[in-house]
């Protein structure tokens, strides 16, 4: 045996210790993520209420998506509720996304413009991101104190004192005022994160491109729409798809922003629909409907996740190809 072989035989492999350290994570992930996911798929083929332990095949999916014959049949009722929750989810997400992307883009361009030379940008970045780390329950409680239906809540008390209104306005009960408030809350909580993403994209643009545009006499608006916007397209797509995934799973603010025992129909999202049917009756729960809606939500989220993966793969493919050619 030569010296090199003897040296290799004496070397200690530490790979097993690495596996030992990450093993607890995989155990926890399998127990809290993989097992519930698999169990949800099984439950989606089970019945509801008195038939919770019976195998019903694809009936839950059929009733959720297409309903059942008969105006007052169980399938028709659950399909109406589910489709209403899908509509609410899309409305709440769309309003939030439009407000968020417009505000974030304006702030990102403003903070990253070297001609303005804005001072204290680090402080503003921290302040913008702070709402993102506040718990949803605290935010919902804060806005309920401000915009509650009672005359003693801050906004109603102020409007009554100024004689703008004669009686308290039902901000929480009114369909569109409640939705607008949820838009505002979601935008306020997440615009800082989106702003930082867009700022990082703008700072990544080669300054010589802007210098060349300025020498050629390009206006600020023309530079923004012809240079900045096209280069930020990958970030816009990423923000759009991740925002859509988050919007489909929107639960905390719509669920918490209500007065009384139940969530208003105008704020019942798909996630709230799943939770409500899971807990509708402890003795006769609608596990099938909840699991079926969860599986549908999982499939849609998976599709959007694959789109992100495919887009990122396609965007990096030319770079890898150039490196190989060299």
**pLDDT band per the 50, 70, 90 thresholds, residue 220:** confident
- Does pLDDT of 169 surpass 60? yes
Q: b vs e for 172-206, b when ≥16 Cβ sit within 10 Å of the residue's Cβ?
A: beeeeebbebbbebbbbbbbbbbbbbbbebbeeee
93: number of Cβ within 10 Å: 21
Q: Answer yes or no: are the C-beta atoms of 255 and 264 closer than 8 Å.
A: no
CATH of domain 80-325: 1.10.3720.10
**pLDDT band per the 50, 70, 90 thresholds, residue 126:** confident
Q: What DSSP element (H or E) covers 88?
A: helix 74-112
29: number of Cβ within 10 Å: 11
Q: Answer yes or no: are the C-beta atoms of 168 and 151 closer than 8 Å.
A: yes
User: pLDDT tens-digit profile of 53-85?
Assistant: 889 999 999 999 998 887 778 888 999 999 999
Q: Answer yes or no: are the C-beta atoms of 293 and 40 closer than 8 Å.
A: no
Contacts 24+ apart (CB under 8 A), 93-98: 93/243, 93/244, 93/247, 93/248, 93/250, 95/179, 95/180, 95/183, 96/182, 96/183, 96/186, 96/187, 96/190, 96/243, 96/247, 97/240, 97/243, 97/244, 97/247
Residue, of 169 and 124, whose pLDDT is higher:
169
- Does pLDDT of 326 surpass 60? no
**pLDDT band per the 50, 70, 90 thresholds, residue 319:** very low
Domain ranges within the chain, ordered by starting residue: 80-325
């Amino acid at each position: 045996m030569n010296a090199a072989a003897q040296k290799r035989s004496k070397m200690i492999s530490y790979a097993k210790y690495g596996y030992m350290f990450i093993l607890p994570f995989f155990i926890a992930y399998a127990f809290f993520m993989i097992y519930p996911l698999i169990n949800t798929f099984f439950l989606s083929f089970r019945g509801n209420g008195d038939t919770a332990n019976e195998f019903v095949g694809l009936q839950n999916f059929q009733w959720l998506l297409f309903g059942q014959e008969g105006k007052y049949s169980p399938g028709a009722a659950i399909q109406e509720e589910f489709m209403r929750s899908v509509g609410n989810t899309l409305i709440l997400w769309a309003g939030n996304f439009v407000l968020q992307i417009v505000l974030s883009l304006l702030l990102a361009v403003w903070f990253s413009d070297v001609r303005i030379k804005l001072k204290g940008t680090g402080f503003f970045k921290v302040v913008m991101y702070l709402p993102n780390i506040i718990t949803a329950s605290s935010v919902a409680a804060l806005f309920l104190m401000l915009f509650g239906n009672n005359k003693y809540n801050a906004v109603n008390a102020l409007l009554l004192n100024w004689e703008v209104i004669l009686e308290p306005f039902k901000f929480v009960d009114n369909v569109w005022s409640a939705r607008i408030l949820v838009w505002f809350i979601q935008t306020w909580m997440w615009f800082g994160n989106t702003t930082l993403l867009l700022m990082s994209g703008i700072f990544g643009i080669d300054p010589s491109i802007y210098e060349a545009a300025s020498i050629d006499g390009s206006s600020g608006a023309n530079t923004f729409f012809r240079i900045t916007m096209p280069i930020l397209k990958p970030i816009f797509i990423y923000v759009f798809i991740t925002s859509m995934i988050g919007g489909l799973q929107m639960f905390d603010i719509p669920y918490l922003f209500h007065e009384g025992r139940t969530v208003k129909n105008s704020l019942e999202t798909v996630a709230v629909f799943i939770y409500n049917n899971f807990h509708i009756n402890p003795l006769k729960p609608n596990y099938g409907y909840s699991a079926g809606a969860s599986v549908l939500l999982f499939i849609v989220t998976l599709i959007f996740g694959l789109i992100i993966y495919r887009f990122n793969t396609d965007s990096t493919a030319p770079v890898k190809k150039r490196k190989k050619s060299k």
